[in-house]
Amino acid sequence: MDSRQDLVLLGKVTKPHGIRGELKVYPYSGSPDNLLHYNRILLARDEQSAPVAYTVERARVQKNCVLLQLENCSDRDDSEALVNYLVYVKEQDLPELAEHEFYLRELEGKQVVTEKGLKIGRFAGILTTDSQDIARIIDGRKEYLVPLVPDFLVSIDEDTVTVSLPPGLLEINM
């Protein structure tokens, strides 16, 4: 069995679709196309439950969601039983990245500093919105919300994310 560290959470089953067992999945990345590339997914009732592997027979985008047809999920009762399940893939199944590309989840835990060396805090997570992703940066009891736009990211190394932020951005978070 794979450890949870080897799995990447991609979304959640929101409801059945139709009578032939299709599942409607909300992608956490905000981009439904990202879920079209996987032949196998893992579903778990919650973050503590053991994930179960499923073969994807068909996948298609519908608005901001993905409709998945899974092997051995052939009617509405089968798909209703999977509502609210979390959708994972194995980390090794993620698409290869080009040079200078990264997955946002790789930033978690890194120290965030400005170009001038001011330590802002640790990268604590990502809030996904319709318009853009927002970095949650925590420094003790302070939380900063910073838009994750390419112009703000100067460099990323093993332990540090260096940012160039417009004047006043950190102050509006206080």
Write b or e for each residue in 59-71: b if 16 or more Cβ atoms lie within 10 A of its Cβ, otherwise e: beeeeebbbbbbe
* pLDDT for residue 74: 93
Q: Which fold has domain 104-173?
A: SH3 type barrels. (2.30.30)
- What ranges do the domains of the chain cover? 4-93, 104-173
Give pTM, 2 decimals: 0.71
Q: What is the 3-state secondary structure (H, E, C) of 55-105?
A: EEEEEEEECCEEEEEECCCCCHHHHHCCCCCEEEEEHHHCCCCCCCCCCHH
**DSSP bridge partners of 16:** 23
Given a contact cutoff of 8 angstroms between Cβ atoms, the answer to whether 113 and 145 are in contact is: no
* pLDDT for residue 1: 46
Q: Three-state DSSP class for 45?
A: coil
* pLDDT for residue 172: 82
Q: What pLDDT, in 10s, does the model give residues 71-109?
A: 999 999 999 999 999 999 998 888 887 777 777 778 889
Q: Residue-wise pLDDT tens for the chain (174 aa)?
A: 455 668 888 999 999 999 999 999 999 876 788 889 899 999 999 989 999 999 999 999 999 999 999 999 999 999 999 999 999 999 888 888 777 777 777 888 999 999 999 999 999 988 877 677 888 999 988 999 998 888 898 988 889 999 999 988 888 876
> What is the CATH number assigned to the segment(s) 4-93?
2.40.30.60
